[in-house]
Chains A and B, each alone.
Chain A
Amino acid sequence: MPTIAAYIGVSHFCALLYKNKNDYDFFYSPYVYLPEVFSNYTNEEAFYLSILELFCKKNGVTFSECDTYISGFLSIPEFKAPNIKRMEFTKLFDNMPNYYPVVVNDFAFATKFFMISSSSYGFLQNGADDAAFRLNKCIYPHLKAIDVSSQLSLDKEVLSGVVHHNLKWDSNTPVIFMDSRFYGEEDKPLDYIYMISLISTPSVYDIYLDRTHTMLLFNMLNMVLKDEKIPLDLDNIEHVGTLVTGTGITECLISSEEQSSFVFEVEKNTLRKTKLEVDTEYRIVIKNKDLGTIEKNVFGGKLGLIVDTRDNKIDAFSNIRKFDNYLKFLKD
């Protein structure tokens, strides 16, 4: 019997239809049910059922023959359909011992034992246009900022909350970012700077980006189809690279079997990117006053090795010129 794992985010809906290990399909909709807008002619259940039916039809199955599991951030609607079961959001991370999952949308941030919403941290808008965008986003949460400053303003609010609460990040397992904040192909440099800035605990991190919620949906399936042991489809998950974060001057040594080693120094309050070949293993040695000396084997990724020695990671989100410099730097 086909199984569907679906997730309703703050501003998006995604689903995975699984028939067997070689036959499955993803669906992503950047829309969710909005009571203020759609309740005059439909309800939440009818809205999501019609999406799921369209998805099933596209895959040649009928919805009623599928076992469906639905989770959501943070509430999950009540469904009367007998083939739908609900799964609490807090349980989704239970089966992920090998990753440090981080859910980020335009309103909230959540990881295994920490959650914060931007509304609880204030309303830091920049002028009338931004205020209107922010308020409209409360009614139409799917809205995507088309100018950098509006997106920076949203990011800054969540980032301020995370920094303010001094979240202790775990570098023992790879960090994987996901959820609607990272959906879509555009604005990639903006996404990377945001991810880098969110990580404030000094250490060396292996970073992944899951723009389509692949990890969460596969995890849901593995929680309900325990005997199947479905392998994770890594094609949809991007290996961003290795992040070294710590304040002050940082010395780095990089070596690999194919390349001779090289050393460089990163000044304080700097963000530096060093390109490393994707899927090639490197040996890195890092010296920094916060970190001491760290030796580690890492793999190259989309960005390679990023060294972040900034004291203040929020500043750039209110200073567009500074931010622009970081964007240019990441594009190089």
Chain B
Amino acid sequence: MYVPIIRKIINRNDALLERALPGDGDLIAKIGDKVAPFNQLGSCKVSYNQLVLPKGFNPFNTLNLSKILQGTTLGRFRGEYIHAPYNGFLEKDFVINQWVYKETGREFTLLSGAWGTVRNIMDRRSVLLEIYCKDFLLPITCGETFPGELVVFPNPSDLLIGSFLENFTKDVSGKMFYIGGHIGLQVVMKAKELNLSTLLAGSISKEAFTYAKKEGLNIGVFEGFGEISTSKMIFDELKNISNRFVFFDVENHTLRVPMPSKLEITAVKKPIRPLKIGDTVQIFQSPYFGGMGLVDTIKESSILVKIPKNNKLVEVFVPNFFLVV
């Protein structure tokens, strides 16, 4: 019986990670530099707010367009004065042929976010790093790619998730949260209320996923839909990396976690191979969906799997399992 291999966590010593400035700036990193997460790679000025002024608007001639203080009158349009909402400058956008008022640029500092080596530098914009990392598989994702600090909850029960969210989410900016084994609708609604942008969990309900997609939340799920606990092998790793700066990649279904030193690599020659007694498999069949165990017996249309948690032998029908390496 040939069975494909699922790789829940992949250790990599040569993963490439691009760290980019939001605009052109000055990069201080050089090719070959060794970096750590808090090393600065470069900086630039960023305008976070801008106001597109109406067609036909023209600024007062007396105005210094390059430096305008908050409250200054910019001009008059249809009998009404328009004032500067913040400190900034005025620019004509020749594509839309309208004036745009932009907030004065604030300093943006680009940090490495990972341990590794600078491999390439692209103009004044980005740095390519070669890093050590663990890639966690997220079969279900939605939203946008997001780098941020990972906060790991200790698999709280449904009743406690609410209070965890209340108590541990005072400052949510730039953070993502491993919520626990399961995300239900109440949890995702509470997360939206608290302005959380990115949630990770073992499983998710259909209603919660639909709501998250509608509201534009970023979601990453390690196992599947329904009420499925996070695999022990995943949670054991996650709990050791709480507060690490990590990278949630929606398109590649991956949570990339930088590691400080070289990792041991498990080579997989072929993505599919014959099943053997003693192999570890992940089960995709109720009531053990998502669980892992060791192959005890191989029959023609099913296998018997020993679940380490309770030492029980369960029958799993072909093809409701994958090999885990």
Contact = CB atoms under 8 A, between A and B. Distances in A.
Interface residues of B, number: 35
Nearest to A139: B139
B271 A41 contact: yes
Interface in A81-138: 128-129, 131-133, 135-136
A313 interface: no
Interface string A171-202: 00000000000001110000000000000000
B156 to A, nearest CB: 21
A143 B139 CA distance: 15
A37 B254 CA distance: 10
Interface stretch (B19-27, B37-45, B312-320): B312-320
Contact of B206 (A54, A131, A186): A131
Interface in B164-223: 205-206, 209
B301 interface: yes
Given A47-B4, A184-B301, A132 B271 contact: no
Contacts, number: 97
A131 to B, nearest CB: 5
B2 interface: yes
B276 to A, nearest CB: 14
A332 interface: no
Contact of B4 (A36, A38, A136, A143): A38
Given A29-B2, A132-B225, A135-B225, A40 B7 contact: yes
A142 B205 contact: no
Contacts of B297: none
Contacts of A54: 2, 270, 272-273
Nearest to A54: B2
Contact of A50 (B7, B209, B272): B272
Interface string B220-255: 000011110000000000000000000000001110
A70 B268 CA distance: 26
Contacts of B10: 40-41
Interface residues of A, number: 32
A144 interface: yes
Given A36-B139, A36-B140, A140 B317 contact: no
Interface stretch (B59-67, B104-112, B124-132, B282-290): B282-290
Nearest to A35: B253
Given A31-B319, A47-B271, A129-B226, A40 B254 contact: yes
Interface in B1-42: 2-4, 6-7, 10
Contacts of A186: 301
Interface string B137-170: 1011000000000000000000000000000000
A133 B285 CA distance: 9
B272 A47 contact: yes
Contacts of A30: 318-319
A42 interface: yes
A37, A40, A128 — which one has the most chain B CB atoms within 10 A of its CB? A40
A39 interface: yes
A263 interface: no
B135 interface: yes
Interface in B271-325: 271-273, 284-286, 289, 301, 317-320, 322
A133 B137 CA distance: 20
Given A31-B319, A146-B320, A185-B301, A136 B271 contact: no
Given A40-B253, A41-B268, A31 B3 contact: yes
B2 A51 contact: yes
Contacts of A294: none
Contacts of B319: 30-31, 142-144
A116 B209 CA distance: 27
Pairs A-B, 10 closest by C-beta atoms: A132-B226, A30-B319, A135-B225, A42-B271, A50-B270, A132-B225, A136-B224, A36-B139, A131-B206, A142-B319
Interface of B: 2-4, 6-7, 10, 135, 137, 139-140, 205-206, 209, 224-227, 252-254, 268, 270-273, 284-286, 289, 301, 317-320, 322
